[in-house]
Amino acid sequence: MLIGIPKETRAGEARVAITPDIAKKLLDKGFSLKVEKNAGLAAGFHNDDYAAAGAELVDRAQALAADIVAKVRKPDSGEIAAMREGALLIGHIETCEDDGTLQALFAKHIRPLAMERIPRISRAQSMDALSSQSNIAGYRAVIEAAARYGRFFPLMMTSAGSAKPARVVILGVGVAGLQAIATARRLGGDVYAYDLRPETREQIESLGAKPIDLDIGEEGSGEGGYAKELSDEAKARQQELLADELAKAHVIITTALIPCRPAPVLVTEEVVKRMREGSVIVDLAAANGGNCPLTEADKIVKKHGVTLIGHTNYPSMMAGDASSFYAHNVANLLSIMVEEGEDGLTFKDFAEDEITAAALITPEN
């Protein structure tokens, strides 16, 4: 069973779907691997690393013509055209945007397994690419904030005077938010956090941060561990009650997302105007419209004296580790998809496993 690893071509994307160490493990399990030359170069993995692992280095057409194509981002029309009829595609299919990708895949009977649809259950934790990549985003967001904030993060006491710790507010306590809290605390920040879901309070406190408690009149817990969308009345009350807490912050990191919906506005322009000169907002929801309406996707801008960071691909900024995490996710998924038969590896029935059943996209779902 042949796996092809093409180079990612999306602008700004430096990750690769399979790293050399994972390539070796897959080869040991009976897979064959064809890696496009220079596919891992942007992430720090050289052709010689893949060759030493036993993978075959090929051109783009050969990598895309494999039985299984492993990617990080969804394929473009040219990649789909180069894939063989009936192939299996593993990657982020990004199904919230209906741009014709799925129709093109189905027209060639290509079966897409969407990494973003891996269910968040205990058995699937090792395959959960959304979590592994969000972890990196939460960490890197704090590093970006610290680099742009022109003051110390921790309390500093010297013979020349002292500096108070930065007041950091994290909005949204999912995987990215929790990592942001942990990283900001390690840097010595005075960290506060807010989430709609009451069950996150204990997680916030366990990391040494202070929870922000607001009574907005609605329960915020949704399905699958995500927050649900609030009513317009609750959104307005949330903004009003948050305003004073946010205006006191020196650094705000927003991570609030609702699957396949525009990001909720949490940091209004009025709040930004009230923040101290030199403060920083890192908006992890920039790709979905932003938790602050002043955020500009893929740009760093300064408005009302506050720096707004709108990067949309933090994992790619740490491409080596991000690729390693993602490759482990893909390999763990592959391990439950195949079984050893008389003629080598064969696919199991994807519908019989709750993980592959959830990840597989069909014309019916």
Catalytic residues: 120, 125, 128, 131, 226
Instruction: Name every residue whose Cβ is closer than 8 Å to that of residue 247 and which is 6 or more positions away in sequence.
Output: 271, 274, 275
Distance CA 350, CA 359 (A): 9
Pair of tokens at residue 201 = 């309070």
| Bridge partners (DSSP) listed for residue 275 | none
The string of DSSP letters for 249-281 reads -SEEEE----TTSPPPP-S-HHHHHHSPTT-EE
Strand pairing report for 68-70 and 2-5: parallel
The string of DSSP letters for 291-336 reads SSTT--TT-EEEETTEEEE--S-HHHHTHHHHHHHHHHHHHHHHHH
